[in-house]
Amino acid sequence: MTHTTTATARRRAARAGLTATAALLLAAAGPAPAEARSGGDYLYLLVTKGDSRSSDTRGTLLLCDPPQGHGRATEACAQLDAAGGDIGALPAADVYCPMVYAPVTVQARGQWGGRPVEYRQTFSNGCVMEARTGAVFALES
């Protein structure tokens, strides 16, 4: 017996698997650490590169007392502190980015200053993402 699949079917299966992976990353994080629950600032961060046909998702927990979670945690925590934990209020960097479409979707969920934080945004490419969000989603640095 021969089984064949179309490229569309493979893409749908891959997309479903990646969506499940992202959900598992958030679910696997489970409850926040004790210091985060007791009033500390923390964010669960996800960065997904690619579009609906192919993507690469990475995630981490950013803690800010002391800063830890990724290579630029100290810088990310300082930027968030200056913006009152509002990722959308971070000042945009004055840089030129290429007009290349390579979508990047970022998500943040957590707590800052005792208030819940929910953020999701898709940027046209990584340069635009970093220009708008600073070090917060720089998970690969």
Q: Does 139 fall in a domain?
A: no
pLDDT by 10s per residue, the chain, length 141: 334 344 444 445 555 554 444 444 444 444 444 444 445 889 999 999 987 676 789 999 999 989 998 889 999 999 999 999 999 999 999 999 999 999 999 999 999 999 999 999 999 999 999 999 999 999 875
Give the pLDDT score at 29: 47
Give the pLDDT score at 105: 94
Say if residues 61 and 42 touch (Cβ distance below 8 Å).
yes
27-33, Cβ contacts within 8 angstroms, sequence gap of 24 or more: 29/59, 29/61, 32/61, 32/110, 32/111, 33/61, 33/63
Give the pLDDT score at 141: 55
Q: How many CA atoms lie within 13 A of 84 on its CB side?
A: 3
Report phi then psi at 124, rounded to 5.
Answer: -70, -25
Q: Does 20 fall in a domain?
A: yes
The predicted model scores a pTM of: 0.70
Q: Does 27 fall in a domain?
A: yes
Q: Does 140 fall in a domain?
A: no
Q: Does 76 fall in a domain?
A: yes
**3-state SS record for the chain:** CCCCCCHHHHHHHHHHHHHHHHHHHHHHCCCCCHHHHCCCCEEEEEEEEECCCCEEEEEEEEEECCEECCCCHHHHHHHHHHCCCCHHHCCCCCCCCCCCCCCEEEEEEEEECCEEEEEEEEECCHHHHHHHHCCCCCCCC
Number of domains in the chain: 1
Give the pLDDT score at 3: 40
Amino acid symbol at 128:
V
Give the pLDDT score at 103: 94
Smallest CA-to-CA distance from 33 within 116, 108, 110 is with 110
Q: Does 53 fall in a domain?
A: yes
Q: Does 1 fall in a domain?
A: no
Q: Does 141 fall in a domain?
A: no
70: domain CATH number is 3.30.350.10
Give the pLDDT score at 39: 57
Domain range spanning residue 78? 7-133
